[in-house]
């Protein structure tokens, strides 16, 4: 976090360290999130805690397991239909991503696992269904 009172920006004590730092090379296929040191709230890509407005955040690595909170099919700006999903991770934060599988087979409550952190086209995380993907057909 920087103050813009002076012509040269300087780091503020208690700034959100680790938010913009590059991830280590050994953890390229992992999602990193922030956790507030004051109240313990987990969040994804924030500079301030949404609960207590604290700026002392520590970066942690997610295990990559989550649950689909909401999924929708998008037909805009793509040659084929694709899904956009909100995934609630086991650590308590929510991330927007894509779930691989048949579009009619992705429902709220399905468990997913991180496949890759960056979709080559959209740059968002890609998940795979953990449970049976063809549940909608039965």
This prediction has a pTM of: 0.69
Q: CA quadruple 37, 23, 82, 132: dihedral positive or negative?
A: negative
The mean pLDDT value of the chain amounts to 78
Identify the CATH number of the domain defined by range 65-129.
2.40.50
What pLDDT shows up at residue 82?
82
> How is the chain split into domains, by residue range?
32-61, 65-129
State the Cα–Cα distance between residues 15 and 12, nearest whole angstrom. Answer: 5
pLDDT at 67 over 70: yes
């Amino acid at each position: 976090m920087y103050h813009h009172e002076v012509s040269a920006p300087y780091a503020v004590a208690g700034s959100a360290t680790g938010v913009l730092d590059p991830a280590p090379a050994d953890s390229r296929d992992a999602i990193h999130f922030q956790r507030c040191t004051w109240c313990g709230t987990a969040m994804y890509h924030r500079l301030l805690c949404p609960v207590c407005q604290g700026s002392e955040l520590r970066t942690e690595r997610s295990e990559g397991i989550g649950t689909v909170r909401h999924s929708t099919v998008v037909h805009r700006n793509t040659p084929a239909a694709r899904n956009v999903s909100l995934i609630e991770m086991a650590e308590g934060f929510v991330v927007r991503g894509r779930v691989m599988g048949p579009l009619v087979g992705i429902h709220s409550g399905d468990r997913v696992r991180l496949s890759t952190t960056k979709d080559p086209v959209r740059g968002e995380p890609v998940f795979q269904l953990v449970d049976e993907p063809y549940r909608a057909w039965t």
